[in-house]
Structure 1
Amino acid sequence: MYSFDFYNPTHISFGEGKIAELDTLVPQNAKVLVLFGGNSARSTGTLDEVKTALKQREVVEFGGIEANPTYETLMLAVEVVKQQNIDFLLAVGGGSVIDGTKFVAAAALFDGEPWDILLSWGAKVTQAMPFGTVLTLPATGSEMNSASVVTRKELQAKLSFMSNHVFPKFSVLDPSKTFTLPERQVANGVVDAFVHITEQYLTYPVNAPVQDRFAEGLLQTLVELGPKALSEPQDYDVRANLMWVATMALSGVIGKGVPHDWATHMIGHEITALYDVDHARTLAMVLPGLLDVRRQGKQQKLLQYANRVWGITQGTEDEIIDQVIDKTRQFFEQMGVQTRLSDYGLDSSSIDTIIAQLEAHGMTALGEKQDVDLAMSRQILERNL
């Protein structure tokens, strides 16, 4: 296991009715900007519940943050922060709203062009506004980490940044708030969390059994509960465990002391930026091909994954790897998430465009060993046509 530092200051308030605790979590004298996405936060009553919990605090609303938060929209929120003298941010929604709020928190105090926050991967962030979150869609783990992904529409660029300055002060996780989610969003959340785990687990062994077993347990839980979340949408325990798995998948715990991949995400980001495909669905259309193309470098972990997560032990090593890649693809499709580029209207000409974007954004050496070059990225996409 590699040496590491671990830091995660986010306070988690988990359970039904926990939104009421905003009164103690948000400073009493704060002027709060509540950021949210579409109309669901309002129509489900969550926004009213949040405002009731904030009591006499002055509250300003900012809605319209997209499913893939855009730089253009978020900069409008930054202007509201400055014009209204906001001193606390509260994200109400899923990972996209939380990612967007992280960018607003950093950009509002940034000395310079805010786009540099993303161009520098967060290295230039020296401070950020305090913020909390009310999670309504479990998927990204953004409620308990310091990462954010933002799309700039005019450049068709989807970039990420990380900074210890943008950990949420707190996150409220009420599983009952997920009962009204559309099936598509629930399915996307399961796939997103699944791939977050594999990006930190399906690399190569470094004698880190704690992280491995934790990752395997999370994957097994997703395999077990994912279909139930679709068939039993009002089951509180199913939704509670699903919510906590998604948070743990990217809270930093399973990724410490082990190599990371993230090539699936980097390729997927370009597909979203170009074709506006749901983030989780881009991951589903990349991961199976990536595991196939990189089976040699990932062989030991793929065999371990096959045995411990799926119980596959029969056959040659190549046959076992074939089986587990098929199992992974079948699981995504069981969740209603298609796994081929052609399922989304993309073809070989689309691959040319994606590769050009990867090159333009410097994504020419991806993966845990930085050996996924543009030619290999092309192979990965071609395997999933």
Structure 2
Amino acid sequence: MQNFTFHNPTRILFGKGREDEVGAVAREYGSRALVHFGGDYLRKNGLLERIEASLSAAGIEFVEYDGVVPNPRLSTVKEGIRLCRENRLDFVLAIGGGSAIDSSKAIAAGACMDGDVWDCFTGKAQVEKALPIGVVLTIPASGSESSKACIITKDEGSQKRMCSSPHILPKFAILDPETTYTLPAYQTAAGCCDIMSHLMERYFTQTEQVDFTDRLLEGALRTMLVTAPRVLAEPDNYDYRAEVMFVGNVAHNDLLGMGREEDWACHDIEHELSALYDVTHGAGLTVITPAWMKYVYKQNLPRFVQFAVRVMDVDLAFDQPEAIALEGIHRLEAFFRSLGMPTSFADLKIPADRIPEMARRALDGRPYAGHFAHLNEEDIAAIYRLAL
């Protein structure tokens, strides 16, 4: 096990009706808020009205910014920065899922710097300060509500890049499972698979003697294997929605990665699908993850055997470790398909003609991606081809 420091100060308010407390909690951090969200569903279901009533009751003035788009864009961020500066806003409230939260994080950082916020995503600058951020989560998937990372796509060239800083870690996040009842089935399934990917990016490690976090990750993955089909079958079941929302939060608040080297190759490789073809992130991951597994499993066969047995319930002869590992991968891929998720480029209608370009872009000048296996440009191209 590696040395580690764990500190996550995001306050989590979980349960029914907790969004009615948003004004009282937000008042601790500011009095003039940017309320950042996207889509009409928040108006139709009355959630936006309730949130804004709570803000008003707490004496918080606010400016609405209904500009969130999937795979959030730099142009959206820059408009939010302009609104914050022109209206002298001192707090950003994100309502939605990962796109709303990541966009809000970038806005909060950009509002406090003189230069171009994109420089924080290319390594030319660091986030030194940010406006306080709060979250009302309505789409459990990204875990961004208690993560210090955010991902933005630059409009020109469709470059998708990440920025990480403790300054953009939300001050609080409100998680009410009832707010997720109206999510479409596809969005729910994609969110579940995104959560599972966050768990697997941490699970597949070369760090030895991390059995405690192995067991936690395995428990979380098995919870998702059981609960994801149930929540699709009964979308108004509070308990199923609550399980997914809670696992999604813990999956990406850094706890389950403590003491172990994490991988993150699948995320790097998938980002080119969502950047170039505007694929839902969770859907892109269900295409890339099995292909990545098939390409790298021999790098640590015992770990893939452990995954197959402990997580996917594979029961084959112990003298056939490779067959066990491959059956575990097969069962994961079949699980994704059972949720209605894509598992190939063909499912997403993505052509093969840009694979060399995508492999080059995925590295973004780095010598390799991932830590479980160091993947160069040729490796990444091979993984894309396995996903065809």
Same fold (TM over 0.5): yes
Give 3-state SS (helix, strand or coil) of 1:277's partner.
coil
Give 3-state SS (helix, strand or coil) of 2:291's partner.
helix
- Matched ranges for 1:318-333 at <5 A: 318-333=322-337
Can you list the C-alpha shifts for 1:277-304, whole angstroms capped at 9, x where unaligned? 1111111111101111101113121111
Can you list the C-alpha shifts for 1:312-345, whole angstroms capped at 9, x where unaligned? 1314111111101111111111111111011111
Question: How has the CA–CA distance of structure 1 residues 292 and 313 changed in structure 2, closer, same or farther, with 3 Å as cutoff?
Answer: same
Which residue number in structure 2 is paired with residue 244 of structure 1? 246
Which residue number in structure 1 is paired with residue 302 of structure 2? 300
- Matched ranges for 1:1-385 at <5 A: 1-27=1-27, 30-54=31-55, 55=57, 56-120=59-123, 124-315=126-317, 316-359=320-363, 361-369=364-372, 371-385=374-388
Whole-Å separation in 2 of the counterparts to 1:329 and 1:296: 18
Greater shift, 219-228 or 57-66, is seen at 57-66
Asked whether the 8 Å contact 1:72–1:153 carries over to 2, the reply is yes
How far off its partner does 1:369 sit? 4.8
Asked whether the 8 Å contact 2:177–2:238 carries over to 1, the reply is yes
Whole-Å separation in 1 of the counterparts to 2:120 and 2:16: 36
Whole-Å separation in 2 of the counterparts to 1:128 and 1:57: 19
Greater shift, 305-314 or 222-231, is seen at 305-314
Greater shift, 345-354 or 57-66, is seen at 345-354
Asked whether the 8 Å contact 2:296–2:373 carries over to 1, the reply is no
Whole-Å separation in 2 of the counterparts to 1:261 and 1:177: 32
Give 3-state SS (helix, strand or coil) of 2:260's partner.
coil
Could you list the runs of 5+ residues in structure 2 that have no partner in the other structure? none
Asked whether the 8 Å contact 2:299–2:373 carries over to 1, the reply is no
Whole-Å separation in 1 of the counterparts to 2:360 and 2:350: 15
Whole-Å separation in 2 of the counterparts to 1:362 and 1:369: 19
Give 3-state SS (helix, strand or coil) of 2:226's partner.
helix
How far off its partner does 1:357 sit? 2.2
Give 3-state SS (helix, strand or coil) of 1:331's partner.
helix
What RMSD over aligned residues (CA atoms) do the two structures have, in Å?
1.4
Whole-Å separation in 1 of the counterparts to 2:283 and 2:269: 12
Can you list the C-alpha shifts for 1:151-207, whole angstroms capped at 9, x where unaligned? 012121000011011111100000000001111110110000001110000122421
Whole-Å separation in 1 of the counterparts to 2:207 and 2:231: 32
Asked whether the 8 Å contact 1:36–1:64 carries over to 2, the reply is yes
Whole-Å separation in 1 of the counterparts to 2:155 and 2:366: 19
Whole-Å separation in 2 of the counterparts to 1:237 and 1:354: 40
Q: Which amino acid aligns with 2:46?
A: G
Can you list the C-alpha shifts for 1:39-94, whole angstroms capped at 9, x where unaligned? 12222211101001112321110012111110011100000000000011100000
Q: Which amino acid aligns with 2:208?
A: V
Give 3-state SS (helix, strand or coil) of 1:132's partner.
strand
How far off its partner does 1:23 sit? 2.6
TM-score of the pair, normalised by structure 2:
0.96
Whole-Å separation in 1 of the counterparts to 2:267 and 2:174: 26
Could you list the runs of 5+ residues in structure 1 that have no partner in the other structure? none
- How many correspondences in the alignment? 383
Give 3-state SS (helix, strand or coil) of 1:258's partner.
coil
Give 3-state SS (helix, strand or coil) of 2:253's partner.
coil
Whole-Å separation in 2 of the counterparts to 1:93 and 1:22: 14
Asked whether the 8 Å contact 1:106–1:127 carries over to 2, the reply is yes
Q: Which amino acid aligns with 1:276?
A: D
Asked whether the 8 Å contact 2:204–2:372 carries over to 1, the reply is no
Can you list the C-alpha shifts for 1:247-274, whole angstroms capped at 9, x where unaligned? 1110100011101111100010011111
TM-score of the pair, normalised by structure 1:
0.97
Whole-Å separation in 2 of the counterparts to 1:353 and 1:45: 44
Asked whether the 8 Å contact 2:302–2:321 carries over to 1, the reply is no
Give 3-state SS (helix, strand or coil) of 2:246's partner.
helix
How far off its partner does 1:363 sit? 4.6
Q: Which amino acid aligns with 1:14?
A: F
How far off its partner does 1:356 sit? 3.5
Q: Which amino acid aligns with 2:21?
A: E
Give 3-state SS (helix, strand or coil) of 1:154's partner.
coil
How far off its partner does 1:358 sit? 2.5
Whole-Å separation in 2 of the counterparts to 1:133 and 1:158: 23
